[in-house]
Structures are given as C-alpha cells and as structure tokens.
Amino acid sequence: MLSVFQRGNSRESLRARWPAVAVLALAVLMLGTVMGCNPSAQAPKVVRIGYLETSGAAPTTSVVEAFRRGLRDNGWEEGRNLSIELRFAEGNEARLPILVRELLDLHVDLIFAATTQATRETLDATSTIPVVFAGLADPVGAGIVKDPSHPGGNATGTSLMTAHLHGRQLQLLKESVPSLSRVAVLLNPTGPSASSLDLLEDAAAAVGIQPLVLRVNTMEEVATSLDRAVTQGAGAVIALPDALFFNERPRMIRLAAERSLPDMYWERTFVEDGGLMSYGGNRAEAFRRATGYVDKILKGARPGDLPVEQSSQFEFLVGTAAQQRLGITIPPAVAEEVTEWV
C-alpha cells in the first residue's frame, strides 16, 4: 500500500503530466473526427461499369456470371469498389441505342459490350468512354477494329474467331454424315455474320458441299425456310452466330429435330440444350478473360493500345441424345476430336 507521502507524490506527478496528456487526447479526438468526415479515407473509390447485351438476361446467365467472376478475380467487388449497370435488349436490337444512352447518362467509367451489335451501337454513341467487347465472332470483318494487334480508338476485347471456323464446322458435318451434299445455312442479314458469308461459301466449296443460304429475320421465317431447304435436298443445317438463334435456342433445336436435320452451331449451349454439334470457342471463358482488359483500363491503360485477344483453342461438343435420335454414328476419326460428349 502506498504511504500518504507516496500518494501525494503520485498526484503531483499526474498534475505535472496533465498538459501533455490533454494534448494527446485532443489530437486523437480530432483525428477520429477528420476520418469520420472523410469517407474516402475509409472506403475506396467506386467505379461504375455498364454491361450491354443484345440478348435477354435468362439466356446469358452463364456469361454474366463469368464476367462477374473475372472482375472479382481482378480485385473488383460489387458493393466495395465496383457498381455494375446491367442492360439487356431482350433480342430487340432497336432498344440498343436507348440502353446505350441510359448508360452514358449514368456517367459510367466503361461499357462492357457483349455482342457485335451492342459494340457497334456503343461506338456510334461515344468515342471517349472506354469499350471492352467480349467473344465477338469477327471484330475486324464487322468493322469494330481495323487491326487487332493495334485496335486504336476506344475499344478492345476478345474474339472467338467464329467467322474463320465455318470450314471446320462443315467438314465435321460432312465426315459425320458422308452422304451430305447440301446444307441449309441460317443467316440473319442484319446480324454480325453477314460479313462472313463469303468465307462460308468458300469453305463449303472446299469440302464439296453446296450451301443453301436462308436469310431470315424471325423464327417464323426459320421454319418456312427450313421446309423449303429440305425440299431442295438439304441434309443438315448450320446456324451462323446471331442473337436471334441464341435467344431462341430450344425452338431452333426443335425446328431442326422436327425435320430430322443434323444441326451444327457455334456455341456449346446449343448442344447442352439438345442440339447435335457445336464447334467454337468458349464464350464464358472469353467473357472472363475480357475482364482483364477492364482491369487494365480502369488502372490507366488506353483501349487502343491493348491488342484484341483472338481465341486459339476451340471445343467440339456432340449431343448423344441428338445423335441417337438422328441415327448417326460418329466415325472414330471424328470421335477422337470431340472434347465433350453431352
């Protein structure tokens, strides 16, 4: 126990130190007040990204999730340093300019365009806001960029090189159905694949197949056009990349099945939904990889300085149920190339 003398000395010592203690306490209080009034000292800046899709939300769930996952992998988290504005045209291309304007009015920092049409509309509306596109069939043929190694302008992204795969798609069909001599080609003349028709016709000639080009704008036209193609001897059908066919996958597959036509597509989800074959790049992976461009641009890179990434690895899917329904036996040489049986 302290003596009276010691307690007295302690009180005297405390009184002697009081000015310094008071100053320290006041400094701590002021620092806390300043930090409380300055949110930027506690939370990072939130960037706003616009996401523009020609299709609807339901058919594109997997690629939207791949987009979000890619952003998270690069350190961008919704609710912390990122806000995403999703816009879907639900297959109505006429809505795209309206949706682009909505995003621009929100002063987004960047627009992520999920299709060729969405990219075109965005670039028509702005030459300053950075644009990242994902999984386009042919950005050069579509006029999005002139040189993929030096895109220039305010846009860059990933390409699935789909326009250059027509030859392999037709060859796989021919090898699987040796008697095939004519194939129905579904093409939306206002869509992204119109520029690649010459490539397809050259590829068809190279494998000894006559293409019956069916220019369609609606699924009703698809049905009547396929009927006409069957009467003209079409033994299979290939659909060129377009939101019209992608949005209506179940119906597209059913129309081919009702006419007993082996069907070839550019995207794996067609086979997952019941189609026979798909050969092309992985769209979800292309979306995930495109977020790397988003990260670089948000950190200061210029889109025009970032080369377009072109797919070099492709997947070949075969639907076993469709194969059995059509009575097709996949030859061993073709089966060896299948990357996934569904």
* DSSP characters over 298-316: HTT--GGGSPPEE----EE
E strands, the chain, are 47-53, 82-88, 110-113, 131-136, 155-159, 182-187, 210-215, 237-239, 263-265, 277-280, 309-310, 315-318, 340-341
- The CA distance from 145 to 123, in Å, is 11
Polymer length of the chain: 342
Q: How many other CB atoms sit within 10 Å of the CB of residue 22?
A: 10
Domain boundaries, the chain: 49-161+284-310, 163-280+315-341
Domain pair 49-161+284-310 / 163-280+315-341, same fold: yes
- The CA distance from 315 to 96, in Å, is 31
Fold of 163-280+315-341: Rossmann fold (3.40.50)
Secondary element (H or E) of residue 92: none
Q: Which residue has 């036209």 as its token pair?
A: 221
Task: Note the pLDDT tens digit of each residue in 152-193.
Answer: 999 999 999 887 899 999 999 999 999 999 999 999 998 878
From 141, 143, 144, select the one nearest 161 (Cα to Cα). 141
From 94, 195, 188, select the one nearest 142 (Cα to Cα). 195
Q: What is the mean pLDDT of the chain?
A: 89
Tell me, what amino acid is at 128?
T
Q: What is the pTM of this model?
A: 0.81
From 318, 175, 173, select the one nearest 235 (Cα to Cα). 173
Cβ atoms of residues 140 and 146 within 8 Å: yes
Instruction: Please report the pLDDT score of residue 42 as a whole number.
Output: 57
- The CA distance from 101 to 81, in Å, is 24
Fold of 49-161+284-310: Rossmann fold (3.40.50)
Per-residue pLDDT of the chain (342 residues; tens, 9 = 90+): 444 334 444 445 545 454 554 444 444 445 444 445 554 445 679 999 999 999 999 889 999 999 999 999 999 999 999 999 999 999 888 999 999 999 999 999 999 999 999 999 999 999 999 999 999 988 998 899 999 999 999 999 999 988 789 999 999 999 999 999 999 999 999 887 888 888 899 999 999 999 999 999 999 999 999 999 999 999 999 999 888 898 899 999 999 999 999 999 999 999 999 999 999 999 999 999 999 999 999 999 999 999 999 988 899 999 999 999 999 999 999 999 999 999
- The CA distance from 53 to 118, in Å, is 6
* Spacing of C-alpha 192 from chain mean position: 15
